[in-house]
Amino acid sequence: MFLRSEQLLVVSPIVGLALLAIAWLIPGDSQAAAQDFLNASPPRPERPTNGLEVSDSVSLQEMLEKAPEGSTLLLAPGEYQGPILIERGLTIWGPEDAIIVTSGEGTTVRMHGENCAALGFSIRGSGTRYDLLDAALELQGTGLRAEGLNISGAVYGIIANRSHRITLRGNQVVGTGQKAMGLRGDGIRIWETNESEVSHNRMRNARDMVIWYSNNNRIFGNEVRGSRYGTHLMYSHDNQVHGNTYVGNVVGLFSMYSRRLLLENNIFANSSGSAGIGLGMKESSDLEIKNNLFVGNERGLYFDNSPFGRDTKIEVHSNEFHFSSVALDFHDPPKNISIQNNLFRNNWSLVAVAGRGDALKVLTTGNDFDTYQGYDLDDDTVGDIPFEERSMSEQLISARPSLALFRGTPASGMLEAIGQLLPLYKPSPLLRDETPTMKQPRDWSLAR
């Protein structure tokens, strides 16, 4: 997918918040392909060539109990009564109109043991107990697969507990959509699950996609919309999160107490409202954040005591930031952070630092700022004078956080004008780049 930066430059910040059909940002021949990507249904597993035919006139649970170990059950269209338990290496395949429905209590489908699979069919509903984690589908074991499922109406969509090398691929999970997001259950919840794949799922109107106490996983190609946390990692190390699309959530991705994460080629768009964050970190270390696109977020990147720990770092490079209220927001004065070769366009504020601090200790090199007022006389694409970000309004907000209410208003703009026109009130620098780039905006290829 190719995203042209110059397409964004002619659009006002207000319209920028409406750019969330990402394909609109894509020119020419790529536009239709990008829209197909955003609208495409997850791939459906093919019908196995051999298996036991099952109709909705029989008890599915009884068929599972009678089936030989490792066999495959092929569901005909219709409704099947849950709850059911898939174990002993069994596989269930069904078309989308083969629906396993809740009994109104507990979890509808459980899959335990080794090398079981749930493929293609639909699961409708679960019990109503949040404390018991009533879910449409619950997995626990090794080598389990849930692919191409259509899940709706459940408190929790998919839960994986204490599992190893499982695959959640190409599932559609639609949450309850309650206005109070805290009363929704998680669309996908991963707990103490390692060396697994969560890929090409579509989740909307749920609470969170949770990855907790889970290491060495790959989370890629997913699309999360209209939820609270697009992905929430906590105490989860050595995970790769790449090629995901997060649109219209409160927070795109948040990392808490996690180490050695690769966050690459993701789209973070329209994380708005007072709590809106594209990508946030709390006490997380050794993160590499590269080749991501940030569009229309309240905060693009948010750092809270991150990196955490001696001799750890965070690298932010080759990303694009557009139409943020604040592109880079630091909860405390930053250290051991490098911000290199990024592009910043049409952000109301480039950087904010709480507590009257600054980001001058950040290694900032080779970035492309649309607010740079320098020149390039030797034509080497590097600015001949350093870039400095000074902001009267952000300096005041840093001293009095309640003034953030006025960010983006005419009053804030007047303060900025005063800071530039009257040297007596010149604000202190917040960020400095010794080698700002002056290249033309580039095409970016976000691997999907």
Place of tokens 């929430």: 232
At 448 the pLDDT is 46
The DSSP code for 346 is: S
Residue range 6-30: mean pLDDT, rounded:
38
Q: Residue 316 in contact with residue 289, Cβ under 8 Å?
A: yes
Of 47-61, 328-342, 406-420, the least confident: 406-420
Angle, in degrees to the nearest 10, between helices 392-399 and 410-421 = 110
Average pLDDT over residues 153-159: 96
Strands 197-199 and 167-169, sheet pairing: parallel
User: Per-residue confidence at 4, pLDDT binned at 50, 70, 90?
Assistant: very low
**pLDDT bucket at 263, cuts 50 / 70 / 90:** very high
The tokens describing 441, both together, are 């905006």
- Per-residue pLDDT tens for 219-247? 999 999 999 999 999 999 999 999 999 99
pLDDT surpassing 80 at residue 363: yes
Instruction: Please name the residue that has the structure tokens 């960010």.
Output: 407
Rounded distance between C-alpha atoms, residue 232 and residue 230, angstroms: 7
Mean pLDDT of 196-219: 97
Distance in angstroms (rounded) separating the CA atoms of residues 176 and 426: 51
How far apart, in whole angstroms, are the C-alpha atoms of residue 188 and residue 352? Answer: 33
Query: At residue 20, does pLDDT exceed 70?
Result: no
Answer yes or no: is pLDDT of 356 > 90: no
Backbone angles phi, psi at 406, to 5 degrees: -95, 5
pLDDT of amino acid 21:
38
Q: Which one is predicted more confidently, 420 or 359?
A: 359
Q: What is the per-residue DSSP string for 408-438?
A: TSHHHHHHHHHHHH-GGGPPPEEEEESS-B-
CA–CA gap between residue 373 and residue 359 (Å, rounded): 20
Query: 91: pLDDT confidence band, cut at 50, 70 and 90?
Result: very high
The one-letter amino acid code at 224 reads: V
In the chain, pLDDT over 90 holds for what percent of residues? 66
pLDDT at site 88: 97
Dihedral, 319, 331, 210, 294 alpha carbons, nearest 10: -20
Q: Is pLDDT at 101 greater than 70 in this prediction?
A: yes
Q: Does 320 have pLDDT greater than 90?
A: yes
The residues pairing with 339 across neighbouring beta strands, listed in sequence order, are 316, 364
User: Bridge-partner residues for 338, per DSSP?
Assistant: 315, 363
Give CA–CA dist 426/254, Å, rounded.
35
Q: What is the mean pLDDT of the chain?
A: 84
Per-residue pLDDT at 43 exceeds 80: no
Q: Which domains does the chain have, with CATH numbers?
A: 2-369 (2.160.20.10)
Task: Place 22 in a pLDDT band, splitting at 50, 70 and 90.
Answer: very low
